[in-house]
Amino acid sequence: MKIFFSTVVRNARDDVSGEIVRLDWDSKRVEAREPLFPTDPTVVDPNPRGGRRGGRGVALVGDEVVVATYESLRIYDRDLGFRREASHPLMAGLHEVFSDGGPTIWVSATAIDAAVAIDLPSGEAVRDVWPRDVAAFRERFKVAPNDVDPHADNRGPQHSLRHEQDPNHLHLNALAEWKGDVYALLNRHGAIVNLDRQEVVLQDVGRGSEDDRGLRGSHNLVIEPDGRAIVAGTVGRNLRMYDLADGRTERVIRLADFPWVERVARRYDRWYRLRRRLHKRLHVGASPPRPLFVRGLDKVGDVLFVGVSPAAILAVDAERGTLEDVYQYSKDVEVCVHGLRVLTDGPADGDGAAAS
């Protein structure tokens, strides 16, 4: 079994800000890796942590590996030999991507709160959806109409800090399909919405504490054929499972309950809290990277593969709630997993998984 995962290096120079990696899971051996970085070095990014850095979502389409960067899709063969790049004026702040294996891939243009379907062979957008143009969503989330020009080139850095500066920002950062409809995760409001039916399917805002924010601040969205939605609880350090049919929370798996994860948290949390206080109160240094920042998710059988920082991949049995295996790529907390996809030797569950 192979795992393709992307990384982001926080606060790094553009040219060393991330990679796409092919890992043989059984032997835990890295078989190939290629650097990922912004393709236009003349653009100055106002985000001090480097909003254009590294790799984002990963999809497997036919015999190709598709990796999102801030403003493009980079396409490789399975040995990570570079084939081509596709970009579009609506690719602004890409996060997760979704493919059912066909020629069309959905990208979450998070910086402009848009879901865009891209025809991979041509690189053209064949559909774009703007949730803030939907009256039902504006009313539910109390946000203003879309203020982005859909006909402009939005790939520059002007939108990279909207998640912090714009109170109307939804932070649409993940997409999936179920029964022919497209679903989106709205990170800021802790909601999963059906973009085709223009409905809020569920909203889970938790209690607001650091370890229970519900869907707020989360990443990734995997929807299984039976309607179970699985989300990586980024800040809460958990995996969250919901029944889309009735909006019910099925299960929350707290990663910090696993001894391996707890040891990592103990090692890095004290230093993180100190750096955070220095940054917030005294404006010393850049905003520190959060340890055990959960991003990257795929499912094979009963096993969930999930990424954390410092860059590692956890294999979690979704039914038993147990940690089955771990691979650690880096011990540097600045290095984070962002996207991942599992390539198996046979049929598998999970967005983008394909037979080899």
Reduce the DSSP state of residue 285 to 3 states and report it. Answer: coil
Which amino acid does the sequence have at 269?
D
DSSP 44: P
**pLDDT band of 12, cuts 50, 70, 90:** low
Contacts of 126 (CB under 8 A, 6+ apart): 104, 117, 118, 119
Task: Give tens-digit pLDDT for 176-196.
Answer: 999 999 999 999 999 999 999
With contact defined as beta carbons under 8 Å apart, do 31 and 49 qualify?
Answer: no
Task: Determine the average pLDDT of the residues in 312-331.
Answer: 97
Phi, psi dihedral angles at 272 (to 5 degrees): -65, -45
pLDDT in tens, 135-171: 999 999 999 999 999 999 988 777 777 777 789 999 9
pLDDT tens, 18-40?
Answer: 999 999 999 999 999 999 977 66
252 CB-contact burial (10 Å; exposed 0-12 / middle 13-18 / buried 19+): middle
Distance CA 276, CA 291 (A): 12
Strands 335-344 and 354-355: parallel
Residue 329 to residue 307: CA distance in whole angstroms: 10
Quick check: 263 pLDDT over 60? Answer: yes
Instruction: Supply the DSSP symbol for 11.
Output: T
> Which residues, 6+ apart, have CB-to-CB distance to 104 below 8 Å?
117, 118, 119, 120, 126
192 burial via Cβ count (<10 Å: 0-12, 13-18, 19+): buried
Q: Within 10 A of 345 (CB to CB), how many other CB atoms are there?
A: 9
Average pLDDT over residues 303-307: 98
Q: Could you give the domains of the chain? A: 2-355 (2.120.10.30)
Rg over CA atoms, the chain: 19
Checking if the pLDDT of 50 tops 60, the result is no
Question: How many Å apart are CA 216 and CA 255, to the nearest integer?
Answer: 17
Q: Which residue type is seen at 345?
A: D
* Mean pLDDT for the chain overall: 88
Cα dihedral 182→183→184→186 (10° resolution)? 150
Token pair recorded at residue 292:
């055990």
Contact of 90 with 150, CB cutoff 8 Å = yes
Phi and psi at residue 352, to the nearest 5°: 85, -10
Give the model's pLDDT for residue 48. Answer: 57
CA distance 304 to 124: 33
Three-state secondary structure call for residue 264: helix
